[in-house]
A and B are shown apart, each in its own frame.
Chain A
Amino acid sequence: MTMEHSPNGAKKTQVVLAVRDLSVHYPTPDGDVIAVNHVSFDIYKGELLGLIGESGCGKTTTALAILRLLQPPGEIAGGALVLNGTTDLAHLHATQLRQVRWRDVALIPQGAMNSLNPVMRVRDQISDSIRAHESRRISNSEMRERVSKLLRLVGLPERVEQLYPHELSGGMKQRVCIAMAIALNPSLVVADEPTSALDVIVQRVVAQNLLDIKNRLGVSILLIGHDMGLMAQLADRIAVMYAGNLVEIAPARAVLKEPLHPYTQLLIEAVPSIKERKPLQVTEGLTHDLRYPPPGCIFQARCPFVMDKCRRVRPPLQVVKPNHQVACHLYNAME
């Protein structure tokens, strides 16, 4: 496999999650929808990896696959999800998964703040999730302390613990969800669009809080989103997905300053600027049926640089610069 450098330059830091050749299919009467197509990437200890793409690109599906929370008929059609170098999440069965979930890998699902139990106080919900996944018995006093600590970590005043979800604002609810996710000190937190439904200023507060937690606890975060601007603020590395395929992955600075894949370039150009007024960059959005992906590169229909080879041969994800992988025929693999 490729040699990966950690964000701070040292070779081969600890890999928290190694996703190898992951494929997820959704069977339909008309054929399988290939939601995730042979995707591979690593998540390092203490880094925030941003997984970005638009609707239908498979990022949420990837997140659910990692937690083994795919709803049938969706299923993992192949690949491995190696956690901390030892456990393959893809091949665990139910009881083993219970050990892993929340303790090693946690999830903040999309719309989490709307999924809080409306008839339970915050402290009960948090303690519930702790008790469900902690193997030993926890006394009430210890639980109280843990809940207080968690609330402080996410920047919420202590009196929030006795409130009901409807008494909280959107940003506060989301932070409660974050608190629940880090409750058992997992190695990896998968956050699916944690700030999408929030107002701009609240988004900043929650995002900064996420970053703060990452730095303090050393937890790795897989941040899934569609906002390149937000990724720029938070991510150490960025992975770009299009229609089920991983097309580019590199440190955030490299992706934003020198995007290699034409789709990444498109995504960056599509962010309207708050700095200057310029004519709108209009691109056509061609769709292809996810059940019948075209042979060759998945992006061929929209790529301004499409070549003949692109229509025949699927470009592999390969290292073209130090630390920078791209799946595009425009670039040659680094020797």
Chain B
Amino acid sequence: MTAPLLEIRNATKIYGGGLLERTPPVVALQDLNLTLPASPAQIVTIAGESGSGKSTLASLVLGFAELSSGQILFKGTDVTRMTAAQKKVYRRHVQAVFQDPYAVYNPYYRVRHVFDLVIRNFGLTHDQAEADAMIEQALSVVGLQSQEILDKYPHQLSGGQRQRMMIARAYLLKPNLIVADEPVSMVDASLRALILDIMQRLRDASGISFLYITHDLSTAYQISDEMIVLYQGRVAERGSTVKIIQEPNHPYVQQLIASIPVPDPDERWASEVVLPSDEALRAQIQSGCRYAPRCPFKMDRCTAAQPPLIRVGDNHQVACYLYDEQASIPRAVEATSSWQP
């Protein structure tokens, strides 16, 4: 059995709170477990709002931040213990597409530069003609034509074109995994489907897995199979995307889905939502469920200890004491049993 592509074990990231810091520590991510198999390729959604820790996870996986505790294993090797050569392989196989399609381009160079950098630094080829052919092919995969695009400056292209170019750039390396951090949130609504479609095609035709990080559950519903919903650094609900969306169990996820504005005047928001005052929201809870201050079903035990992940169905788990009647699975098992092919 081949080692899984990516294994995240009890990943925890805490910012600040050192000996000399005045502000209390912020737990950006707590004990996250995630396993991506080498095959088949999947689109896994990490869903959450601001402060959920989803961007922190992206930084950790991409090597821009270091874990406070826990491990990240790439094809069986711990990333913190990699040699320089192994790190280069890691970089090659774990690429990214970011949210802002403009900021990722160096305004001094023509857009071709993003390809040249990759070809040069990873030594994909030394032959100019071969490089041109590779770029041409990568562009065709995302539906762009090289002669119209390559010689332009970033500000001369539309947001959708720039984002597609970024996907083409990642594709050039034939990575195993692309971390897509809000890839369509800054793209026009009518062009989002185009980019999401490219992601699906890359998964099916090229075997590239995606870690799709987003706050938009609707797009996640359309393209991903597995999902983890984060709330303030902890997993609220995880499992099959379809199941979570169709039968959300966690009160937070229920609230989230109910608040998505549906373009149907007959489906207006049912009731008014009132958020508790900010103090309650910002209280640094040292123990207990992070959602408790806002939860309409709060019980005493909720503030006592963080609820474990409880199995509520096949490939469906919730971190909520409301579901404690059913058998809860000890932690060690959950890391491997969550993803059923």
Contacts and interface: CB of A to CB of B under 8 A. Distances in A.
B262 A232 contact: yes
Contacts of A306: none
A87 interface: no
Given A229-B261, A233-B269, A272-B221, A200 B193 contact: no
A283 B193 contact: yes
A163 B60 CA distance: 35
Given A205-B274, A273-B218, A54 B259 contact: no
Nearest to B278: A169
Contacts of A227: 189, 261
A205 B275 contact: yes
A136 interface: no
Contact of A203 (B160, B245, B259): B259
Interface stretch (B20-28, B107-115, B194-202): B194-202
Interface stretch (A65-73, A111-119, A250-258): A250-258
Contacts of B260: 200, 229, 274
Interface residues of B, number: 46
A272 B222 contact: yes
A335 interface: no
A272 B194 contact: no
A287 B157 CA distance: 9
Contacts of B263: 228-229, 231-232, 256, 268, 271
Nearest to B242: A277
B188 A233 contact: no
A208 interface: yes
Interface string A243-281: 000000000110011000000001110111111011011
B218 A272 contact: yes
Contact of B264 (A54, A55, A208, A256): A256
Contacts of B49: 199-201
B191 A285 contact: yes
Given A200-B256, A272-B222, A274-B217, A208 B261 contact: no
Contacts of B216: 272
Contacts of A257: 265
A155 B276 CA distance: 11
Contact of B221 (A205, A230, A274, A283): A274
B159 interface: yes
B265 A253 contact: yes
Contact of B275 (A171, A232, A282): A171
A266 B264 CA distance: 15
A199 B215 contact: yes
Nearest to A157: B277
A201 B273 contact: yes
Contacts of A266: 190
A54 B188 CA distance: 6
**7 shortest A-B CB distances, which residue pairs?**
A229-B261, A199-B49, A272-B218, A54-B188, A204-B259, A280-B193, A228-B263
14 contacts: A201-B49, A205-B273, A227-B189, A229-B262, A272-B216, A272-B218, A273-B222, A274-B217, A274-B221, A280-B196, A282-B193, A283-B193, A285-B160, A287-B158
